[in-house]
Amino acid sequence: MLRPDLRVLVMSATLDTDPLARMLDNAPVITSEGRAFPVEVIYRPPPVRAGRPPRLADQVAAVIREALATDTGSLLVFLPGAGEIRQVERLIRDDLPAGANLAPLYGNLRSDEQDRAIQPAPDGQRKIVLATAIAETSLTIEGVRMVIDAGQARRAVFDANSGMTRLVTGRVSRAAAEQRKGRAGRVEPGVCYRLWRESDHQGLPAFTPPEILEADLAPLALELAQWGALKPTDLDWLDPPPTAHWNQAVELLQWLDLLNPDGTIADHGSNARALGIHPRLAHMVLKGRELGYPLTAARLAALLGERDLLGRGAGADITYRLQALDGAYRVPNPDRNRLDAIRRATTRLLPEPNTQDVDATLPAGRLLALAYPDRIGRRRPGDGNRYQLSNGRGARLADEDTLGQQPWIVAADLDGQAREAGIYLAAATDRATLEQDLAGHIESADEALWDDNRGTVVARRVTRLGAQVLDEKALPEPGPEHLIQGLITAVRNKGIDSLPWTEAVRQWQARVSMMGSLEADWPEVSEHALLTTVEQWLAPFLAGVRNWKGLQQINLMEALQSLLSWDQQQALKQALPTALEIPTGQQVRLDYTTENGPVLAAKLQALFGWTDSPRLASGRIPVVIHLLSPAQRPLAVTADLASFWREVYPEVRKEMRGRYPKHPWPEDPMTAEARMGTKKSGR
């Protein structure tokens, strides 16, 4: 133990205490209800008219009017975000009763407006606070005795694939709903309106998802590296971090030279961690000092650590925010508290008081590219304000944003949408600066591409910054390795179905999948798995293949069988044969691709004398038998042949012997001779 004398008290209003107590050696849990007055809960689900529920804002506005007309006191309304708050504000502003005042409350409001929402209403007046989840636990709002809970919350969710965080709107948890309800019973009995059905309440998730499952883990990974914990498995967790999020964080920290290739913290990483800000911004601040722009780097970090100083109406160019700090850009009705906070943060990030830049160029784009090398955007030719980012994603500036005229930008703040992210804050840069500052991350390589029009492979030499193509040059006749790479790319683009599948190969695939369900260590051969590993098993069989026509001539069965060892190939033949011998002595193919297979389909008379249904794989897999009429039409399906002969066959015999009199229909099929033909033709 680091501190045997230390005692830790963990406190929370909504924490799921059981897992934490178990992790802490069954630590005692003390529950305190606190001083609370009873709160009546009224459920007001949305009325459905013309087959659809109303807009959330309309529903909330209607319940606000109801609450104001039937109850006294101030009202706290929980909404998912600032957009919904503004909608509700517009709907109710003009028909409020006398003495009722509206007070929005969300994070991007000026501090004096936030203070007005928190303070008690003046004597003889009541207040309607329209708030996000910021009022759920972080703040106490005086005088509230009514709560309206819209039942939704907006939270930040990190996407490891894009390295960006997006806002997701979803239902609140039961714990959050109880916390919101409690806001109405702080000073006197209250009432809580919930805008969902009472029967739906238990269907809400019990708790809000742990932040570690949805957060950007780069700060955590850097902190743990400082302590020597290089892998998540080095620690015990209430909720282990997602592997994809952790790997993305480590890759980013190594890209920024904060971690060494082996995952240990670099000296640069230790210096960045000491600044106490996000690793991206810390890296930018340290590099900004080296480039001679310590003040601009510190200001950028301070600006990005706060909510946007100017708001969306000022456009995305972060240079305007830098100029606002100097007074060069006039901010109407500025938020003095936020300006002061940014200036204090700037001072803290300077190496020495009153440090200045080497010149007054405000190289915002150059510095942001150091912090966000994965968000460098190149304008798409002739495509308005749309950009291709160096992480491979698309992004877009607002149509009227003049920054969209720039060929190169760096996006510092985006909405994280998967298809095309909206850019909130960015700065212009240029290619020459990128090539100078990020030379260590620019790579050139020969690539093979598939030309679908020509049905062949073309090669090129490509220079990239991440996924951003800086230059490309066609190469002469592609070599053998380029041909294979291009053909593999074609298969990935066209899909695994584009390969020359045959019925025999499909049966092999189904048999291997069945073995994988019975035993460990068999390869997965689903179409997704085969496409993921296509280079492993297909590339060795592409030697000499130059085009798509040639690819269609390969022996796909031979290529796929390379996934199995020799022992597995023999085990497959023995456990799940392709055919079975029936009582007539004929070999009948088994169908493993049908649902509930394997299936053996044969004429009923050909199976006389078979008293038990066959089983495969040492008895673990029953064969489903499709019994056919003399006209090869289905008569019955069974996996229990003995039961069929005893219980079903007499009825089948009674019905079929008149229809097919030339074929045998013995009373005892278990002892009768199997035959394929009619009575006269024999076998």
Give mean pLDDT, residues 212-219.
91
What is the percent of the chain where pLDDT is above 90?
Answer: 57
Residue (of 305, 313, 310, 295) closest to 341 by Cα position: 305
d(CA 375, CA 551) in angstroms, rounded, equals 38
Q: Write out 371-431 in H/E/C secondary structure.
A: HCHHHEEEECCCCCCEEEECCCCEEECCCCCHHHHCCEEEEEEECCCCCEEEEEEEEECCH
Answer positive or negative: Cα dihedral of 251, 253, 254, 255: positive
pLDDT tens digits along 560-594: 999 999 999 999 999 999 999 999 999 999 999 99
pLDDT at position 98: 87
Give mean pLDDT, residues 214-229.
93
pLDDT at residue 23 is higher than 90 = no
What is the percent of the chain where pLDDT is above 70?
Answer: 97
Give mean pLDDT, residues 90-113.
85
Contact between 202 and 450 under an 8 Å Cβ cutoff? The reply is no
Helices (H), 74-215: 82-92, 111-118, 134-137, 174-182, 198-201
Give mean pLDDT, residues 320-344.
85
Residue 578 token pair: 């392709």
What DSSP line would sit under 189-235, residue for residue?
-EEEEESS-HHHHTTS-SSPPPGGGTS--HHHHHHHHHHT--SGGGS
pTM higher than 0.85, yes or no? no
Start-to-end CA span in the chain (Å): 85
What is the β-pairing status of strands 126-131 and 394-396? Answer: unpaired
pLDDT tens digits along 467-504: 888 998 888 777 788 888 888 988 998 899 999 999 99
Q: Write out 50-81 in H/E/C secondary structure.
A: CCECCCHHHHHHHHHHHHHHHCCCEEEEECCC
- Least confidently predicted of 7-11, 140-144, 303-307, 433-437: 140-144
Contact between 287 and 249 under an 8 Å Cβ cutoff? The reply is no
Answer positive or negative: Cα dihedral of 237, 241, 247, 251: negative
